[in-house]
Copies of this chain bind each other. A is one copy, B any other.
Amino acid sequence: MNKGSISMAVIRRLPKYHRCLSDMIDKGIERISSKELSETIGFSASQIRQDFNNFGKFGQQGYGYNVEDLHSAISNIIGLQHTYRLIVLGAGNLGEALVNFGFEKLGFQVDALFDNNTEKIGKIVHGVEVLDVNILETYMSKHPVDIAVITTPVKVAQQIADRVVISGARSIWNFAPVDLVVPEDVIVENVHLVDNLMTLAYLLNS
């Protein structure tokens, strides 16, 4: 399997499969037909078959899917068998909210928060220490960081992105309302909250 050849549209549907199957496990559902899966998740049966075909063979014609097996297969495709080390840049409400969201249950472990506010430095937020952003490079030279989460004010976001990239961050989860410029091999996932509000505004008027 050449994962690099899978389209982003397919990749972005994987978390929804994962969420849907997790719900079914919670509800005690053991087996599901492709028709039932299609109705629950809202993708056509043919879409689901095509998506799964990218990753090998799941289920058996006429027998449907074993929910646990499919959930586990999707988890492995996403890469949830690994643990990911995160740092959060910016220890404001949003940074604190992200530390407290429960992502560690899925293997996304926040190791440190960083801030430049001396009143916040040294504070423990849900078990995670707020470190001085001045020691960011030193920290990163000693600790692997898979995902650097940027929740800083917009005016310093690019500068912080440059610093984590130089220090070896492989990916950035960006909440600042700015389109960051990074080298091609650094992955950026943006959450532009304002864009959501603008989309809602547009749809409310149409």
Contact = CB atoms under 8 A, between A and B. Distances in A.
Contacts of A206: 3-4, 6
Nearest to A99: B93
Contact of A96 (B19, B77, B93): B93
A141 interface: no
A197 interface: yes
A187 B205 CA distance: 11
A199 B12 contact: yes
Number of copies: 2
Given A15-B195, A103-B197, A205 B93 contact: no
A170 to B, nearest CB: 6
Contacts of A14: 198-199, 202
A10 to B, nearest CB: 10
A200 interface: yes
Interface string A10-33: 011011101110000000000000
The 6 A-B residue pairs with the shortest CB-CB distance in the complex, in nearest-first order: A93-B97, A3-B206, A15-B195, A94-B97, A15-B198, A79-B201
17 contacts: A11-B203, A12-B195, A16-B195, A18-B198, A42-B179, A78-B201, A79-B202, A79-B205, A84-B197, A84-B201, A92-B97, A108-B197, A147-B197, A171-B200, A173-B196, A187-B203, A191-B191
